[in-house]
Amino acid sequence: MTGAGQASDVFARRPKRADARRNYEALIAAAREVFAEAGAAASLEEVARRAGVGIGTLYRNFPTRRDLFEALYVEEVRELSRSAADLGDLPPWDALVAWLHRFIGYVATKRALAEELVHDSEVFRSCRTEIYTAGEPMMRRAQAAGAVRDDISFDDVVRLLSGLTMAQFPQPEQRDRVLGIALDGLRPPTSR
């Protein structure tokens, strides 16, 4: 099975009835909050409580903790990928920088969740493909406009920023400053 097929399988479980769909979406929203606050080991009972449903409803939608992790991870990747289209009206450099800021925020908050997933799984690979599908055209557009060096790839940028998210910053302002330094390195010497 392909990576895209596996990620689609996660959403094939999405309920069709309106009330069941609302419960599913409430569980995803609650899981996002609970895992952000307490990490991947957070209580599934707390997820169900915040979603306003019983634990049985949680397990009907997500039979295992891993199923919930995967569904949440895929949803977060899809939101990040869709955000690329929202930036299409901006100048190429501004669009790329805005999306990379979203990417950094996404990676920083999803690190614990991603650690729970097997990085070689079909779901993880398909999500990575989706991120590249959203980000590479933005990068090529910025390169074509002369705003980004043409000797780097989107993969180079992802690795640079992934390394940046591994660092612990005492304040978000410092993380933003360091990100600014990294982004300056993407620009051609004449644009700096």
pLDDT digits (tens, 9 = 90+) for 107-151: 766 665 666 555 567 777 888 889 999 999 999 999 999 999 999
DSSP state of 150: T
- What is the second-level CATH architecture of the domain 3-191? Orthogonal Bundle (1.10)
Contact yes or no for 164/100 (Cβ under 8 A): no
What is the Cα–Cα distance from 108 to 30, expressed in whole angstroms? 18
What is the Cα–Cα distance from 36 to 33, expressed in whole angstroms? 5
**Sign of the CA dihedral with 124 first, then 170, 79, and 148 last:** negative
- Which tokens sit at 63? 């039979």
Average pLDDT over residues 21-26: 92
Contact yes or no for 187/149 (Cβ under 8 A): yes
Closest CA to 114 of 174, 162, 43: 162
Task: Assign 74 a pLDDT band (cuts: 50, 70, 90).
Answer: confident
pLDDT at 9: 53
- Which tokens sit at 163? 């390394």
Task: Output the average pLDDT for the chain.
Answer: 84
The reported pTM is 0.73
